[in-house]
Amino acid sequence: MKSFSIEEIAVLVNGEQIGNCNDQINAPEQIENAIKGNITFIGSSKYVGLWEKSNASLALVYEGIPILPGEGKAFIKVKNPDLAMAVLLDAFEPEPPFFETDIHPTAVIDKTVKLGKGCKVGANSYIGRNVVLGDNVTIYPNVSVFDDCTIGNETVIWSGTVIRERSKIGSHCIFHSNVSIGSDGFGYRPSEDGRGLVKIKHIGNVVIGNGVEVGSNSCIDRGKFSSTILGDGCKIDNLVQIGHNSVLGKCCIMAGNSGLAGSVTLGDGVIIGGSASIKDHVTIHSGAKVGAGSGVIADVQAGKSVVGYPACDSREKMKQWVALRKLGRN
Amino acid sequence: MKSFSIEEIAVLVNGEQIGNCNDQINAPEQIENAIKGNITFIGSSKYVGLWEKSNASLALVYEGIPILPGEGKAFIKVKNPDLAMAVLLDAFEPEPPFFETDIHPTAVIDKTVKLGKGCKVGANSYIGRNVVLGDNVTIYPNVSVFDDCTIGNETVIWSGTVIRERSKIGSHCIFHSNVSIGSDGFGYRPSEDGRGLVKIKHIGNVVIGNGVEVGSNSCIDRGKFSSTILGDGCKIDNLVQIGHNSVLGKCCIMAGNSGLAGSVTLGDGVIIGGSASIKDHVTIHSGAKVGAGSGVIADVQAGKSVVGYPACDSREKMKQWVALRKLGRN
Amino acid sequence: MKSFSIEEIAVLVNGEQIGNCNDQINAPEQIENAIKGNITFIGSSKYVGLWEKSNASLALVYEGIPILPGEGKAFIKVKNPDLAMAVLLDAFEPEPPFFETDIHPTAVIDKTVKLGKGCKVGANSYIGRNVVLGDNVTIYPNVSVFDDCTIGNETVIWSGTVIRERSKIGSHCIFHSNVSIGSDGFGYRPSEDGRGLVKIKHIGNVVIGNGVEVGSNSCIDRGKFSSTILGDGCKIDNLVQIGHNSVLGKCCIMAGNSGLAGSVTLGDGVIIGGSASIKDHVTIHSGAKVGAGSGVIADVQAGKSVVGYPACDSREKMKQWVALRKLGRN
């Protein structure tokens, strides 16, 4: 377990120390649950009342809050508590899981695979023909990577994740547990007798940029032909569905349980709220925001916020909700 | 296959036998599909009409229904057919999958792992450093459990499930297939140049009480710091998302496809309907119910029922829906 | 990589060649991204303007569009561009992932398993006692199939998928990555002291017909008793939940993130839109359609279209939405 002196933490977060305490700080903790040796956070005045009873040794405090630490405890006052907290979490981050050997003997790695320097492949993982891994790629146990994929430097793939053939994955990406990349898209045509459905083959692939993170149990389908594309820096939460031939620009955010049907286009910096779903062939332009739980059935202009089902301008939808509430009370 | 005489079943469910039948009873089945040797259920009068044509040998019948079994068939009349059915399902439960050896030779178990008495670990599973398993823990094939986890007595983990570092799991829990426990929460801050997103490290963990069941492909993220907590007896369905630092009290129920964003608090006995989603930092107090498909954006008082998007009191929402229906017909 | 001459493609899609080009055609690509050697599609007049700048060598063109290919490029004019594209995708489909040996030595296959002719089982997969595989079944790496399952001819199971005991799977099915079949349904009863929940055992199974496709990370729970049933030709997208004892007729379609609670009945050819959810014990009769994002709480008649939450007739719901929009603007 890592630990720091209060002086070391003050330097790390570039803050001003107030009060004194000799405790070595070993973990961040919420103000109610903190024990001696913990650091906690007072980012707004609503936490002030909890401080006196807290057993924390130290708190990061927003400089605008007029509060003193009291006897035997200390504060570090900072301009930006959120940033300071992020820096602190970096400092306290534990080591990742232990690999006894870089390439576990039970991993099945085709002889044609190219492994960069410093790659780790965990127990019982499978890597198919002609896969190319960059440097320092980490593949945890029970992962499957299929033929002809490329995976960039420093990318991390957690257990249960499956990456299908011909996917191109950038560097510094993270795939959490049980992610499914590159499965066939969902497309059928009526059979000739009109009584059944015939599968449309999906021969495209998935192309993912650098710095992309994909949450647990999310799915990104391959293109029917051509590619399903995620731009650099996209952040995808858990249980998200991205349909075939969707194209996401840079730094898009999709929250948990949201979904894109096929051939959806997102510009740069688009934010999709949790459980929202977007109809096929819709374009959501750069900087637009879709509220949680919304259903988007038409294009959204750049920078606009929409919400509801069917989604419309957020302010207009608020008025509709207010009107409906009044109507229900008549 | 297990089988019982009608007399044995009458004793099991504490019911009164009516009519006689010598068939040995080998399985429960729905009244329309039942064959000779099956037991079926007549819990309400709507099933009475199907009995005459049913080939079942036996039925569990609610004692308030005035019906007779007819020639060569039998009834067992009971006060509480749901309870009797549950008892019967316990009796007919088949053996769990067969383990040829308790610890399969292809399982990769770090030498520091502590295994309690009677533990079973299936083929190709992975258990990392310093994991502690209680007694009679069953880990099916292709499971991954990472460093420093503890798992209590009698807990069962099905295939494809991934449990990340430092998770604390209670006793008598069940994790169904492809569950993801302890992945990083979803949190980013703007980069200094304002043009990208920087990952906030998630160094907390997941703490799960006793008797908790988690459905297939559900996700429970670790805390940013501190813990994401599920109290004793929580029952989580399939494809459910529980965001970082959410805290669930005892015996909460979350139905399929529902989700909690980050830092949601549920009291004891809260029921979340299917596909409902709860905004971050919301508190839903004990005994409250959230209807299926709802979007909850504000705290819910103890014992209250809310529904809709945005969710409000169920009766108020019903009035709104009625008013809207009228409005559409004008 | 497969390639075809323009003449060969004209024969394949039964179209009329216009213009000449000697390029060998090696892949389909979208009109904006196509390079020399690619074939693209002009299915409607909105793509006409992009053709002149496209680097594609060839396009499949709907015969009703009055456009000429220009110098050194060619068209194949067809009556039905969607069908022609499907035929072309079949032709260009790459080989599936390579198996060095049919049965990988790291696969754990119980000695009682019956393998049909031509079966392939990938690395680190597990097949339990008394499982019966038909001919030419393909099981990719890291799959788990439990005791007493049967799987029909030509069925393909991708990595991470888990199939629990006693499931009956038809022929020509596809299970994509991380699918969970046959986990326990979600059912509890209050404990005798009223303070907890007791698990109801689920001793039924899952029965899946022929030609069924199940998308990545979808879940189909076993029956409480009797079976959860999917009829021939059902197509299930990613992240779909099908609760215990639901019964789907033939050729039903369920789009991504949709869900059926327990004991839902779908007739033949029912279409469930993305993110829609259906209440337990509801029946949706043959040919009915449920719009994306809907919440269905009552039976739906054959052939009817419903939408919204609570779902009602699509035209009625449209009127409600129009009325609500007006109301918000007053």
CA-closest candidate to residue B245, choices B200, B290, B286, B288: B200
Q: With b meaning 16 or more CB within 10 Å and e meaning fewer, what string describes B249-276?
A: bbbbbbbbbbbbbbbbbbbbbbbbbbbb
One-letter amino acid for residue C5 of the chain = S
First to last CA, chain A: 62
CA-closest candidate to residue C163, choices C171, C151, C152, C173: C151
A-C CB pairs within 8 A amount to: 181
Q: What is the pLDDT averaged over residues B269-274?
A: 97
Interface of C with A in 189-228 (CB under 8 A): 211, 213, 215-217
Our answer to whether residue B244 is catalytic in this structure is: yes
Chain A hits for B244, Cβ within 8 Å: none
**CA geometry: angle B311, B316, B319, nearest 5 deg:** 120
Contact between B122 and B159 under an 8 Å Cβ cutoff? The reply is: yes
Q: How many CB atoms lie within 10 A of CB C77?
A: 22
Instruction: Please say if the pLDDT value at position B15 is more than 90.
Output: yes
Q: What is the pLDDT averaged over residues A66-83?
A: 92
DSSP H helical segments within chain A, as ranges? 6-13, 48-51, 81-92, 314-329
User: How high is the pLDDT of residue B196?
Assistant: 87
Q: C307 to each of A98, C265, C319, how far by Cα in Å?
A: 51, 18, 12
Query: Higher pLDDT residue, C45 or B250?
Result: B250
ipTM above 0.90, yes or no: yes
User: How high is the pLDDT of residue B330?
Assistant: 75
Element (H, E) at B120: strand B120-121
Q: What is the pLDDT averaged over residues A251-263?
A: 97
Low-confidence ranges of chain C (pLDDT < 70): none
- What interhelical angle do A81-92 and A6-13 show, nearest 10? 120
Q: Could you read off the pLDDT of C9-51 as tens digits, one per residue? A: 999 999 999 998 899 999 999 999 999 999 999 988 889 999 9
One-letter amino acid for residue A235 of the chain = K
For domain B6-92, give the fold.
Answer: 3.40.1390
- Mark yes or no for CB contact B197/A321 under 8 Å: no
CA C312, CA C282: separation in Å to the nearest integer? 14
- Mark yes or no for CB contact B184/A177 under 8 Å: no
Q: In the predicted model, what is the mean pLDDT of chain B? A: 96
For tokens 């109301």, the residue is C327
B176 to chain C, minimum CA–CA distance in Å? 6
Mutation target to probe the B interface, by most B beta carbons within 10 A, among C142, C203, C306 is C203
Residue of A nearest to B108 (CA): A123
Chain C hits for B158, Cβ within 8 Å: 162, 164, 183
Q: What is the pLDDT averaged over residues A127-143?
A: 98
Chain A hits for C309, Cβ within 8 Å: 309
Contact between B93 and B12 under an 8 Å Cβ cutoff? The reply is: no
Chain C hits for A217, Cβ within 8 Å: 178, 217, 239
Note the Cα A209 to chain centre separation in Å: 14
Torsion of CA B105, B108, B112, B116, to 10 degrees: -60
Chain C hits for B173, Cβ within 8 Å: none
Residue of B nearest to C216 (CA): B217
What are the backbone angles phi and psi of residue A215, rounded to the nearest 5°? -75, 170
Q: Could you read off the pLDDT of A193-248 as tens digits, one per residue? A: 888 899 999 999 999 999 999 999 999 999 999 999 999 999 999 999 999 999 99
Instruction: Please say if the pLDDT value at position A35 is more than 90.
Output: yes
- Mark yes or no for CB contact C216/A180 under 8 Å: yes
CATH number of B161-316: 2.160.10.10
Could you tell me the sign of the dihedral formed by the alpha carbons of C202, C204, C205, C210, in that order? negative
Distant-in-sequence, close-in-space partners of B38: CB < 8 Å, separation ≥ 6: B25, B26, B27, B28, B29, B55, B56, B57, B58
**Which residue among the candidates C202, C244, C281, C285 is catalytic per the annotation?**
C244
Mutation target to probe the A interface, by most A beta carbons within 10 A, among B110, B144, B159 is B144
Could you tell me the sign of the dihedral formed by the alpha carbons of B20, B23, B29, B30, in that order? negative
Kindly list the strands in the beta sheet with B283-284, ordered across the sheet, starting from the edge strand earlier in the chain.
B114-115, B132-133, B150-151, B168-169, B205-208, B227-230, B247-248, B265-266, B283-284
CA A107, CA C284: separation in Å to the nearest integer? 47
Q: What is the pLDDT averaged over residues A263-280?
A: 97
For chain C, which residues make up each domain, given as ranges?
A: 6-92, 161-316
For the CA atoms of chain A, what is the radius of gyration? 25
Q: What is the pLDDT averaged over residues B204-231?
A: 98
Interface of B with A in 257-276 (CB under 8 A): 257, 259, 261, 275
Chain C hits for B325, Cβ within 8 Å: 312, 316, 320
**Which residue among the candidates A104, A176, A244, A285 is catalytic per the annotation?**
A244
CA C141, CA A163: separation in Å to the nearest integer? 12
Q: How many CB atoms lie within 10 A of CB B44?
A: 11
User: How high is the pLDDT of residue C194?
Assistant: 80
Residue C241 in contact with partner chain B when CB distance is under 8 A: yes
Q: Could you read off the pLDDT of B104-161 as tens digits, one per residue? A: 999 999 999 999 999 999 999 999 999 999 999 999 999 999 999 999 999 999 999 9
Q: Could you read off the pLDDT of B286-304 as tens digits, one per residue? A: 999 999 999 999 999 999 9
Structure tokens that stand for B292 in this block? 């299926």
Contact between A202 and A184 under an 8 Å Cβ cutoff? The reply is: yes
